[in-house]
Structure 1
Amino acid sequence: MGNKPKTTDGLMRHMRDNKKLNIGGSKQKRQLRNIGYFHGYKGYNFYQRKENDLSYSEFTELHALYEFDTEIKTLFYRHVMFSETAIKNRILEIIHKESGYDLEPLFEKVLIDYKKHAPGHKEYKKKLAQTLRLRKDIYEKIHENCNTKPYISHYIYDDRPVPVYAVFELLTLGNMVFLTRCLKDTMKINLLKDLDLFITSFEKNEKIIGDLIDCLKGLRNAIAHNGVLYDCRFKDNSTGKQLTEYFNVKMKVKNLEFNRIVDYLAVIILICSSLGYSKTELKRIVREFETSLNKLRNELKHNISVYDKIIGTDVRTKINQINTYINNIS
């Protein structure tokens, strides 16, 4: 027979006796119950991988990290969701100008990135496969939602094709990554220019919009599903040097590897600035981030090695570079 489940008191004894973590009293018992042993304690006692144990001696340190994580989710949530909607609408607007409202011209005139390669070339096959997968996903979403989403059923029941703008209501950021990668290059460039993200001197502009949305996707999903944020374990492994180089040129923010939470502050500031946030609004985001950061550092003042491990030793440098970018926005 399996082991009998532990009570909260039993879990606290386990944490004291086996994990050498100082925890006790009614307040900390309530905090443990609120954050959960498996979601809270088990989720915040390591950095990125379980073998990277964080050497806490006090439960207050772990709880401070949990509180920091929650505050950053709250700070980022509104701006990430706004960015998702705004970027989708900008893409939709450009598609309407190119191919109208009907769905089929989308595949005939817009999602034709594969055609820049010779038929039979490995890149042609790879990108055609992406486009066909996207096409399949779109029609499956229409089928799955034809009876539950009024903005879809309205057209189905009226025996009319579902327009692109209705389909966009069904698309996730994951779908949008595929869609932007499948766009023909001229439309990718037009989108970057519309968002004031185009850099004349950058050689791979056409790939950046897909990379940015892909980077935003992991952050968005972690926030929306209450995942752990602070150590960026949500990061997609495909986020690489190209995006690092882009931020270096565009924002003059260096060494972004997207494995520190401050790196995603830079992502949010860049996207929100491109969508029309004022300097005051952008500075407020950075200031609130710093407030939570200072609070965490104070809580970990007797365990600075843990703070440096999870936040990074160059966090202040990156924040200063982000603020310089904001100050230089015209």
Structure 2
Amino acid sequence: MYHKQYAKRMTLKGKINNALLRDYSNARQTVNHFFDADRSIPIWAIFESLTLGEFGTFFACCNANVKLATSALLHLPSNLDADGRITEFIIYAVKDLRNAVAHNNIVFDTRFRTGDINRRLVSLLESEIGITGLDFKYISSYVVLLIYTLRKMGETKTSCKQFLNAYISLTDDLRRQLPSNVCAQILGSQQRPHLRQLQNFISNS
């Protein structure tokens, strides 16, 4: 176990160095300022250089106290996040969507997903939102995750409702243009009840 964790930390160190070198080669002023002045790079400047995936690796290497403190800060239910790892699972789940959006890739069928969504995260979302059968092969599940995370981070109910209503409006337009069986393949058969429960969650959170 010790060797595995040590290897993970060494991998993280390599990723951080590569990220700093990447930004230095691209003449990014934040990094170059500290390199050229022969000064240590502060943690905030390192975070400026990390991708979301690299930040996920960083968080995964944090000790239990940091993870639990983050969980408490986000008001995640302690009975479902006893080890504080849910934040890590959220970061990795959002990372693929973020990368797809940033590179203008197709997102509606979640082909951007590079790995399985952690089952504990799925169970937490189902419990907190009050739904069953959450399936991340449908984009609506990412909407559920994003809005849940936004509320936990303190985003306003109004903003979250606007986001959700805009998404519902778009999918309603899709339903008017395509046969119901095709929409079910794209959106999933439980999209509407899931989003109704998500609306309730926003109102009650």
TM category (shorter chain) comes to over 0.9
Q: Give the letter for the 1:165 counterpart.
A: W
Q: Per-residue CA shift, 1:249-274, capped at 9, x if unaligned?
A: 22223222211111011111111112
Matched, 1:306 2:185: no
Q: Deviations over 1:192-222 (max 9, x none)?
A: 21122x2122154422111000000011111
Task: Report SS of the residue matched to 1:236.
Answer: coil
Which structure 2 residue ranges, 5 or more long, are not aligned? none
* Higher-Rg member (1/2): 1
Q: Spell out the pairing of 1:76-91 with structure 2 (5 A cutoff).
A: none
Alpha carbons 1:215, 1:236 under 8 Å: kept: no
Distance (Å, rounded) in 2 between the aligned partners of 1:308 and 1:249? 24
State how far apart, in whole Å, the 2-side matches of 1:152 and 1:200 are.
38
TM-score (norm 2): 0.93
Q: Show the 5 A alignment for 1:112-131.
A: 121=1, 124-131=2-9
Which residue in the other structure is 2:42 paired with? 163
Q: Distance in 2 between matches of 1:140 and 1:222?
A: 22
Matched, 1:258 2:136: yes
Distance 2:4 2:91 in 1: 20
Give the equivalent residue in structure 1 for 2:66: 187
Cα shift at 1:310: 1.0
RMSD over aligned Cα atoms: 1.5
Alignment partner for residue 197 of structure 2, among 321, 324, 329? 321
- Consecutive unaligned residues of structure 1, counting only runs of 5 or more, are 1-120
TM-score, normalised to structure 1, is 0.59
Report if the CA contact (8 A) 2:71-2:81 is conserved. Answer: no
Tell me which amino acid in the other structure corresponds to 1:245: S
One-letter identity of the residue aligned with 2:204: N
Query: Where do 1:1-330 residues align within 5 Å?
Result: 121=1, 124-146=2-24, 148-196=27-75, 198-300=76-178, 303-329=179-205
- Corresponding residue for residue 29 of structure 1: none
Q: Is 150-159 or 206-215 further displaced after alignment? A: 150-159
Relative to structure 1, the CA distance from residue 190 to residue 203 in structure 2 (aligned partners, 3 Å threshold; closer, same or farther) is closer
State the one-letter code of the partner of 1:249.
S
Secondary structure of 1:258's partner? coil
**Residue 257 of structure 1: SS of its match in structure 2?**
coil
How much does 1:240 deviate? 2.8
SS in 1 for 2:132: coil
Q: Structure 2 counterpart of 1:174, which letter? A: G
Larger relative contact order (CA 8 Å, sep ≥ 6):
1
Counterpart residue identity of residue 322, structure 1: L
Q: Count residues with an aligned counterpart.
A: 204
2:68 partner amino acid? I
